[in-house]
Amino acid sequence: MPGNRGVSYEGAGRVEVRETDYPDYELKDGPGVNPANVGRKLPHAAILKSVATNICGSDQHMVRGRTTAPTGLVLGHEITGEVVDTGPDVEFIKTGDLVSVPFNIACGRCRNCKEGKTGICEHVNPDRPGSAYGYVDMGGWVGGQADYVLVPYADWNLLKFPDKDQAMEKILDLAMLADIFPTGFHGCVSAGVQPGSTVYIAGAGPVGLAAACSAFLLGAAVVIVGDLNKERLDQARSFGCETVNVAEGEPKDQIEQILGAPEVDCAVDAVGFEARGHGKDSETERPATVLNTVMDVTRAGGALGIPGLYVTGDPGAADESAQRGSLSIQIGLGWAKSLSFVTGQCPVMRYNRQLMQAILHDRVQIAKAVNATPISLDDAPRGYHEFDEGAARKYVLDPHGMLASR
């Protein structure tokens, strides 16, 4: 049996690459594992050799100490891998398959899964519907920023790439299917983006850039991306986006300069709960700012996609209400404008097969759009630090050196 290493959260601002257990077909006790899940048998699971496993902004919230994540938690929910073993109940997935792993863990059996709502599966997290690998309060499934990882309900969860050699030629693009590409796409679909739409996307991190790329794929006429980070705004402009620097003032005024009107058809919040203010408040955390802004800049009768992460427990928040996830949202504005809202985890399986086809048939270059950058597993602490400093990159960990020549 080979050894295993994983990227472990070691307290606010620190991650380390540590020796960890090789996956087993039973969920063991460990950091963050829900006691009700300990001892759970997993004959339906597969063991994957991680080919690509990405650092996500959602991971960064934990690493900054902004959640209740326990130390020792192995991180990582964006996984692409090669199947090296399967449990006795796995029927269709085979050893050697190259696969994408939706970050949502779903059983395929509950009511929500059968309705396509795989982000809120009822059977994988004893505390509440919805689960993910290597994430706080998500049931305790071990993360995939590691050499090897276990995927439960393998026949249901895994998306097999049809041609392994073709997939390896586009592996950096396909690595985005585990989370950020479907998440950005879901944000745009939820917001009603269609041919000819004008779209405002708050946030030029990887999810925001993936949403911008998705908006173009859906036929948007104008995509405007707002952020505080010049390098990330430059990255958005590199594939055709208009941009607004929210440090310079309210997005509404800058949108009017671009469009000749202060409103867009649709808007996407790709920032989440660590949002800062705009203009003179841009150095101060204002967690409701983005939600209120996307309501303000979206036309009456429009819709908002909100894939940005919001939490029920934020120990680092500035006030007691925000620590409980209670924000000062102008719901009256949203009501008056008859706006629609869609929040929550993206149900990755709703989109990943179609987006895979778009990648394989050269309809989109998502890795280029988000500036996907491979680094070794040992370099994960550096990747987390540079990402936290605002690097305009999507860091992709390469545990076995399979991306180095790509």
User: Residue 275: what pLDDT?
Assistant: 81
Supply the mean pLDDT for the chain.
95
User: Residue 315: what pLDDT?
Assistant: 80
End-to-end CA distance of the chain: 28
pLDDT over 80 at 193, yes or no: yes
Report the C-alpha gap between 297 and 302 in whole angstroms.
10
- A 10 A CB-CB count for 363 gives 10
Report the C-alpha gap between 380 and 386 in whole angstroms.
10
User: Residue 145: what pLDDT?
Assistant: 98
Q: Which CATH number fits domain 180-343: 3.40.50.720, 1.10.10.350, 3.30.360.10, 3.40.50.150?
A: 3.40.50.720
Tokens of 99: 């696969």
Q: What is the pLDDT of residues 71-129, one digit of tens each?
A: 999 999 999 999 999 999 999 999 999 999 999 999 999 999 999 999 999 999 999 99
Sign of CA dihedral 33, 36, 41, 43: negative
CA 30 vs CA 16, 34, 181: distances in Å = 17, 9, 31
User: Residue 323: what pLDDT?
Assistant: 80
- A 10 A CB-CB count for 279 gives 12
Share in percent of the chain as helix, strand, coil (round to 5): 30, 20, 45
H or E element in which residue 266 lies: strand 264-269
Q: What is the pTM of this model?
A: 0.96
Q: What is the pLDDT of residues 128-154, one digit of tens each?
A: 999 999 999 899 999 999 999 999 999
Q: Which fold has domain 5-179+347-398?
A: Quinone Oxidoreductase; Chain A, domain 1 (3.90.180)
The stretches of 218-260 forming alpha helices (DSSP H) are 230-237, 251-259
pLDDT over 70 at 405, yes or no: no
pLDDT over 80 at 227, yes or no: yes
Segment 256-262 mean pLDDT: 97
pLDDT over 80 at 369, yes or no: yes
Q: What is the pLDDT of residues 149-173, one digit of tens each?
A: 999 999 999 999 999 999 999 999 9
Tokens of 104: 């949502």
Report the C-alpha gap between 75 and 143 in whole angstroms.
5
Residue type, 72: G
Contact by Cβ (8 Å): 136, 71: no
User: Residue 406: what pLDDT?
Assistant: 60
Q: What is the pLDDT of residues 194-218, one digit of tens each?
A: 999 999 999 999 999 999 999 999 9
| Ranges of each domain in the chain | 5-179+347-398, 180-343
Q: What is the pLDDT of residues 302-333, one digit of tens each?
A: 999 999 988 877 787 777 887 887 888 899 99
Quickly state the pLDDT bin for 280 (edges 50, 70, 90).
confident
pLDDT over 90 at 285, yes or no: no
- A 10 A CB-CB count for 319 gives 11
User: Residue 256: what pLDDT?
Assistant: 97
Sign of CA dihedral 185, 248, 61, 206: positive
User: Residue 24: what pLDDT?
Assistant: 95
> If you ran DSSP here, which 8-state letter would residue 30 be given?
-
Tokens of 221: 């006429």
